[in-house]
Homo-oligomer: A and B are copies of this chain.
Amino acid sequence: MKNKTDIVIDIEPISRRIIINQIETSILEVLLDFSIQIKSLCGGIGKCGKCKIIVQEGNKFLNPLSSAEKSLLTREEIQNGWRLACETKIATENKNKLKEINQPQFRIYLSENLLQEDFKILTSGKIKDTLLNPSIKKLFIDVEKPSLNKPIPDEERVLMALKLENDKDIFNFNFNVFKEISSILRESDHKITIVLRNGNEIISCEAGKTTDENFGIAIDIGTTTLVGYLINLNDGKTYSVASRLNPQTQFGEDIITRITYIKNNPDGLKKLNSILIEALNEIVVENCNKVNIKPSQIYEATIVGNSVMHHIFLGLNPISIGLSPYIPIIQHGLNVEAKKVDLNIFPEGNAYTLPIIAGFVGADTLGVILSSEIDKEEELTLIIDIGTNGEIVIGNKTSIAAGSCAAGSALEGAHIKDGMRAASGAIDSVKINPENLDISFTTINNKKPMGLCGSGLIDAVAEMLKAKIIAQNGNFNKNLIGNNRFVKKNSEVEFILVKKNQTSLNRDITISQNDIREIQMSKAAFYAGTKVILKNLNIDSQIKKISLAGAFGNYINKENAKFIGMIPDIPNEKIFQIGNAAGMGAQICLLNKDFRIKAEKLLKVIKYVEISTKKEFQKEFAEAMYFPHFNLKYFPSLIEYSNIPKR
């Protein structure tokens, strides 16, 4: 029997992996030891009930629910597996059992509000000048009062006033307007503001002049992050942005695990839907509070998200997307009353979801295509949208193709030993001096490092290549393994990026051979996917321009992305970082309703390529596993590779 054993604890949703030797203390103390700051108002004595966690793996080794937990957690929370970190520890009788297992694994999910303020969620993106043509317009009208000579119904008198202000002739009233209009007219001396949708639908009436308060919200539902942009539809400006981690993360990191959850739980869809809507409604309220308006003054929402997020948002069952032949229920853009999806804006306001392209290329990608205007490009353009899922779009003004690859999550820190999301303390850029292997780095918010986020990982791998620490095939350079930058753990070699004393952890931050494999697979998926789509597009041209979209795409060192062979070898000045292009797609559909018609037209044009089932994919993928590629001729500008060994 071993005396000590390494216990691996994965911390979600921040994708932190910590390794400890013994648990003699509570999980709260372990988290604090590793500088994972979580709220605990009472100092860990089981009084405040704030340090909520779900133990997703390893539950069987833990102590049963304490009386403090039974009193501080609701029955529903207990049913859903919530515990208090300060009260949860390995049960004494299980400690010896644990030692018999080789590297036991735990997985702990932290409640979002413990962490969120520390997160770096990409909310920005450049919107090309969009002509303002929202579907909502407000009109202030002065309605004639009724008299015995002219006993004209309220409806008719409002229509008469509207016709004076608007050249339309036929207006449809939203039924709910009739419930209020009589008293609103009489309270406001017959001076009212009409909220018009699409020029002729009267969706609301308000007392007096309220034309200035005319808001819409553009919503980006990411697998991991949610963003809401509050936009004034009169001037097209974004007045507030708010974001949240997607609370569905507690039920699985990626869309497949969430579909599985829905499949295995009768009320799974309802639960994933309701926690999503709840978080979106928090975003709505946060935005409203910043601008000092009420949610009912938001008259429209436009929504992007991948197909599964899109379906769950609408309360549609996404199971058929997860099973061959990967069929979504709907594809077209959809207009649905906000109250029917429980979105807390004006109840009869419209929630518009952008069309989805296929089961794995969703409304988010259509948002990227719309906002990038790839359909206007002369040059053949590659867009890669790097999020929890990766999507690839290639096209120009003559044709467009799109596909998806399971490539993103490594770059968000998943499956990487010291990987983490882009949060405080994440290493986001790395430099290695090839002479002495001295390392310099920066971290988010300049905090003591506790892991690497995606851009830091790409930098680290590129710098390790340049310093010949790894070869083109990704293997560690055996000649260097004696160097003090290397350490051997459980017969695996790891490269020490930051020494124990410099970290906020109790140990070194390292990069293992396995971590490099994960990066290789991720970048190979993008590169091979690009090649497969290019081939299926039947265009006799090479990529001339690249746009990197998504959170990760924005923080990445584009030269290093090219250096590791993630993207084709084109001049840096032709590589652009376009930010949250999916979210921008939602925004421009809000600013100008004509883009919704354009979205439907694009839908007919975009060719969907099911990348992984194409027979050429495997070969392309295998070759792309090399840094930058098995065949260096594809990367002619990377002259440093002449010095980097192939194996």
Q: Does A605 contact B (CB under 8 A)?
A: no
Q: Complex Cα distance A77/B357, Å?
A: 58
Cβ < 8 Å to B, chain A residues 504-518: none
Number of interface residues of A (CB under 8 A): 43
A316 touches B179 (CB 8 A): yes
User: Which one of A82-90, A121-129, A320-328, A494-502 contacts B?
Assistant: A320-328
Q: Complex Cα distance A124/B147, Å?
A: 39
A330 touches B154 (CB 8 A): yes
Interface centre among A181, A320, A608 (most CB of B within 10 A): A320
Q: Does A373 contact B (CB under 8 A)?
A: no
Residues on the B chain within 8 Å of A148, using CB: 324-326, 610, 613
Q: Complex Cα distance A325/B144, Å?
A: 13
Contact of A328 among B147, B150, B153, B315 (CB under 8 A): B153
B151 touches A610 (CB 8 A): yes
Q: Complex Cα distance A176/B315, Å?
A: 10
Q: Does A334 contact B (CB under 8 A)?
A: yes
Per assembly, the copies of the chain total 2
Interface flags, A274-300, vs B, CB<8A=1, else 0: 000000000000000000000000000
Residues on the B chain within 8 Å of A156, using CB: 331
Cβ < 8 Å to B, chain A residues 447-473: none
Q: Does A182 contact B (CB under 8 A)?
A: yes
Q: Does A183 contact B (CB under 8 A)?
A: yes
Contact of A178 among B153, B326, B329 (CB under 8 A): B329
B613 touches A154 (CB 8 A): no
Q: Complex Cα distance A340/B175, Å?
A: 9
Contact of A182 among B151, B182, B317, B359 (CB under 8 A): B317
Query: Given contacts A148-B613, A153-B330, A182-B316, could you give 9 more A-B pairs where the C-beta distance is less than 8 Å?
Result: A148-B324, A148-B610, A154-B320, A154-B328, A155-B332, A178-B314, A181-B329, A182-B320, A183-B317
18 CB contacts below 8 A, A to B, read: A148-B326, A148-B610, A151-B325, A151-B359, A151-B608, A151-B610, A154-B328, A154-B330, A155-B330, A156-B331, A175-B314, A178-B314, A178-B316, A178-B330, A182-B319, A182-B320, A183-B317, A186-B320
